[in-house]
Amino acid sequence: MQALAMHLGNPSQRLVQNCLWTLRNLSDAGTKVDGLEGLLQSLVQVLSSTDVNVVTCAAGILSNLTCNNQRNKVTVCQVGGVDALVRTIIYADSREEISEPAVCALRHLTSRHVEAEMAQNSVRLNYGIQVIVKLLHPPSRWPLVKAVIGLIRNLALCPANHGPLRDHGAIHHLVRLLMRAFPETQRQQRSSVASTGSQQASGAYADGGVRMEEIVEGTVGALHILARESHNRVIIRSQNVIPIFVQLLFNEIENIQRVAAGVLCELAADKEGAEMIEQEGATAPLTELLHSRNEGVATYAAAVLFRMSEDKPQEYKKRLSMELTNSLLREDTNLWNNADFGMGPDLQVMTRYQ
C-alpha cells in the first residue's frame, strides 16, 4: 500500500486511477497496517481532484482505513481530512457514490479517538451541518441515509452543534424517518409471528440491504444524544414520538431497547416529559427492563423510573428505591449521570470493490 501511495502524485491520470482502484480493493484488509501516514495525506489531497472516479476511490479508501483505527483517524484529522471531506460532500451534489463513503469517513472521524471533538466542531465550522442534514431528504437511498444518521449522532455529542442541527431540521427529519421505519418493523414482526409462530429479528430490508431495524436504532440513538439539550427536548416532546419510544422498550433487539430507554431517560429530565412517559404506560416495561442482562438497558430504565418518581409520595419512592437497589447491585449507579452506552465500533461494513 505504501508503494502504491508513492504514485498518487504521478502526472499520468491513468496510473493514478489504477493505483487508487488497487488501493481501494486492498483497503478493506488494510485497517491494521501501520505506516500509512503518507498514503492518508495523499488521499486527502486527491479529494480535490476534478475527476469523479479519483474522488470516489479516495473517499472509499479513507472510509475503510479510518474504520476502527484510531491512529489513522488522528492522522486524517491532522492533515485537514475533515475539511476536505465536507467540501467533497458539498461538491458531490447528487452523486451518492461519492457522498456515501465521504459521510462514512466523517462518521468514523467524529467518534472514538482523541481528535473526535475537534472533528465534530470542524464539520460545523466548515458549513457542513446544513448539507449533511439535507442528505436525509429524498432521493437519498437508505445506505446513505443510514450513514448520515450515524454522523448526526456523532455531531450531536458536541454541545455547540445542537443549535445548528436543530435549526436545519435534523430532529424533524430523524422523527420522520423513525415514523417511516417503525411501522415496517412492526409489520415484519407480525408477518414473522404469523408464519413461524415466534418473533424473529431477521428484519425488513429496504433498498441497498439496509434493515429497517437499523434505521430505527440509528434515529432513536441520534435523538437520544440530541435530547441532552433542553430546547431539543421541547421539540421532541411535540413530535408525538414518545409512544414509539415506549413501544420500542418491548423490542426483541437489545440495542433498540437501550437507545429507547436512553432517549426516555433524557426526556424524563423535564417534568412534562416524565408525565408524558408515564401516561404512555412505560412503568411496567421499564420495571421489567431493570432485570435486563444488558447493563446499559438496566441503568437507563432505572434512571427513567427514578426521574418519573420525583413527584410521587414518599412511600412510593421508598418502594422504588428498594426495587432499584435489589436489581442494580451489580451496576455502578454513577453511570446514570449523562451516561453514553453508545454505538460500539464504527458501524461500517467494508466492501471489496471490483
Question: In the chain, what are the domain boundaries?
Answer: 1-168, 171-189+208-331
Which of 95-99, 261-265, 315-319 has the least mean pLDDT? 315-319
* pLDDT at site 230: 97
Quickly state the pLDDT bin for 350 (edges 50, 70, 90): very low
The pLDDT tens digits of the residues spanning 14-25 come to 999 999 999 999
Round to whole Å and give the CA distance between 301 and 277.
12
* pLDDT at site 352: 35
Candidates 43, 59, 139, 56; CA nearest to 104 is 59
Round to whole Å and give the CA distance between 178 and 244.
9
* pLDDT at site 29: 84
Q: Is the pLDDT of residue 50 over 90?
A: yes
The pLDDT tens digits of the residues spanning 62-82 come to 999 999 999 999 999 999 999
Q: Is the peptide bond before 164 cis (omega within 30 degrees of 0)?
A: no
Q: Give the CATH number of domain 171-189+208-331; options: 3.30.499.10, 3.50.50.60, 1.25.10.10, 3.30.70.20.
A: 1.25.10.10
* pLDDT at site 189: 76
The pLDDT of 136-148, averaged and rounded, is 95
Supply the mean pLDDT for the chain. Answer: 88
Count Cβ atoms below 10 Å from residue 223 Cβ, excluding itself.
31
Contacts 24+ apart (CB under 8 A), 210-214: 210/142, 210/143, 210/145, 210/146, 212/181, 212/182, 212/184, 212/185, 212/188, 213/181, 213/185, 213/253, 213/256, 214/146
Q: Is the pLDDT of residue 330 over 70?
A: no
Round to whole Å and give the CA distance between 10 and 249.
56
pLDDT: is 188 or 272 the higher one?
272
Which of 229-238, 289-298, 311-320 has the least mean pLDDT? 311-320
Round to whole Å and give the CA distance between 34 and 274.
50
Give 264-302 as a DSSP string.
HHHHTTSHHHHHHHHHTT-HHHHHHHTT-SSHHHHHHHH
Which of 93-97, 279-283, 329-333 has the least mean pLDDT? 329-333
* pLDDT at site 47: 97
pLDDT > 70 fraction of the chain, expressed in percent and rounded: 83
* pLDDT at site 196: 58
pTM (two decimals): 0.88
* pLDDT at site 28: 86
Residues 6 or more apart whose CB falls under 8 angstroms from that of 87 comprise 47, 48, 126
Quickly state the pLDDT bin for 190 (edges 50, 70, 90): confident
C-alpha cell at 60: 472509499
Residues 6 or more apart whose CB falls under 8 angstroms from that of 76 comprise 40, 44, 62, 66, 82, 105, 109
Do domains 1-168 and 171-189+208-331 share one topology? The answer is yes
Q: Is the pLDDT of residue 351 over 70?
A: no
The pLDDT of 135-158, averaged and rounded, is 97
The pLDDT of 166-171, averaged and rounded, is 98
The pLDDT of 272-283, averaged and rounded, is 95
Checking phi first, is residue 324 left (phi over 0); if not, alpha (psi -120 to 50) or beta? alpha
* pLDDT at site 320: 60
Round to whole Å and give the CA distance between 310 and 344.
32
Which of 18-27, 107-116, 162-171, 321-330 has the least mean pLDDT? 321-330
- DSSP-H helix ranges across 161-308: 162-167, 170-196, 212-226, 230-238, 242-248, 254-267, 271-279, 283-289, 295-308
How many CA within 13 A on the CB side of residue 170? 32
Q: Is the pLDDT of residue 333 over 50?
A: no
Q: Give the CATH number of domain 1-168; options: 2.40.400.10, 3.40.470.10, 1.25.10.10, 3.40.50.1000.
A: 1.25.10.10
Candidates 90, 249, 107, 263; CA nearest to 174 is 263
Q: Is the pLDDT of residue 340 over 60?
A: no
Which of 186-190, 223-227, 331-335 has the least mean pLDDT? 331-335
